[in-house]
């Protein structure tokens, strides 16, 4: 297989037509048989991959180049997800503006070629697949949440996720409900994932103000939790935070299994097993 074949497979599994801006092949490769896959691939992992005879180092998070510089383009996916959940388009658009503004400016600080340059020097194929795998994870979580009636509680959702996904069962992190409470009814649920990173306060607020009762993020800043709790209290609205590495693994594992079915040897580094 080539790095292009592997990229195409991820797009197909996520039903995406184009390569998202946060996904890239930094060092193309062909005849790939052994893959080292991790959420973050840095210099140490590249050296390990090279030393142990892997053909490809496959990361989830962006490792450099335009995938770190232009990744605000995938943050806009939050708008699509919000609109699908019933948020008016102008409100959804306004909810992402500040983060887009910040990221465009912060992008200037990035040492964007550090890891790709190392891969080129080592002569090892190196790529990352971010949004396609998060989209696979989002769909799996949304489907699981959809299996519960709206009168179910947040505690039921957490129990269901733990039963349904080995990743949540095996992870060292717990699924938390830092805004609202586990005794609350679920009501309408939305999974805001697969859009670069979590949507912070403005995106959560847009969901809560337009009919969503329980919002799922995979991670969340403490200041956002405080702000949402101040605004919505503990009674109606719930923010469920499923845990970064466990939730990334929910999207990555089915893809790695598919690569294995196609005959590749895949060693996963630092993922939570299914």
Q: Which range, of 79-87, 99-107, 138-146, 241-249, touches Fe ion by CB under 5 A?
A: 241-249
| β-pair type (214-217, 238-241) | parallel
- CB nearer to Fe ion: pick between 55 and 248: 248
Is 248 a residue that touches Fe ion (CB under 5 A)? yes
- CB nearer to Fe ion: pick between 106 and 234: 106
Sheet of 214-217, strand order: 176-179, 238-241, 214-217, 189-191
- CB nearer to Fe ion: pick between 186 and 256: 256
Q: Tell the smallest beta-carbon distance from residue 248 to Fe ion (Å).
A: 4
Query: Residue 167: which residues within 8 A CB-CB, separation 6 or more?
Result: 246, 247, 249, 250, 253, 272, 273, 274
Is 167 a residue that touches Fe ion (CB under 5 A)? no
- Cα distances from 171 to residues 156, 175, 218, 239, 250, in angstroms, run 18, 9, 13, 19, 11
70: enclosing H helix or E strand? none
- CB nearer to Fe ion: pick between 180 and 243: 243
Q: Tell the smallest beta-carbon distance from residue 61 to Fe ion (Å).
A: 6
- CB nearer to Fe ion: pick between 141 and 152: 141
Residue from the set 134, 135, 167, 213 that interacts with Fe ion by CB under 5 A:
134
Q: Count of residues binding Fe ion (CB under 5 A)?
A: 2
Chain residues in the site for Fe ion (CB under 5 A): 134, 248
């Amino acid at each position: 297989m080539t790095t292009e074949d592997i990229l195409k497979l991820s797009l197909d599994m996520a039903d995406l037509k184009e390569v998202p801006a946060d996904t890239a092949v930094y060092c193309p490769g062909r005849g790939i048989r052994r893959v080292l896959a991790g959420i973050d691939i840095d210099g140490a992992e590249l050296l390990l991959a090279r030393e142990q005879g892997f053909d490809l180092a496959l990361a989830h998070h962006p490792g450099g180049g335009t995938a770190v510089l232009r990744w605000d383009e995938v943050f806009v996916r939050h708008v699509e997800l919000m609109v699908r959940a019933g948020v008016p388009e102008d409100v959804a658009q306004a909810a992402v503006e500040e983060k887009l503004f910040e990221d465009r400016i912060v992008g200037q600080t990035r040492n964007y070629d550090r890891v790709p340059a190392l891969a080129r020097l080592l002569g090892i194929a190196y790529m990352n697949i971010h949004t396609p795998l998060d989209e696979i994870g989002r769909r799996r979580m949304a489907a699981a949440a959809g299996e519960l009636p709206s009168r179910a509680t947040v505690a039921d959702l957490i129990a269901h996720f733990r039963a349904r996904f080995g990743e949540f069962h095996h992870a060292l992190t717990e699924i938390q409900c830092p805004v609202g409470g586990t005794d609350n009814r679920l009501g309408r649920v939305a999974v805001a994932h697969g859009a670069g990173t979590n949507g912070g306060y403005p995106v959560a607020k847009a969901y809560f103000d337009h009919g969503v009762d329980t919002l799922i993020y995979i991670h969340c800043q403490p200041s956002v939790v405080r702000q949402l709790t101040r605004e919505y209290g503990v009674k109606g609205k719930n923010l469920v935070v499923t845990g970064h590495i466990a939730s990334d693994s929910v999207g990555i594992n089915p893809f790695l299994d598919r690569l294995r079915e196609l005959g590749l040897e895949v060693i996963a580094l630092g993922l939570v097993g299914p």
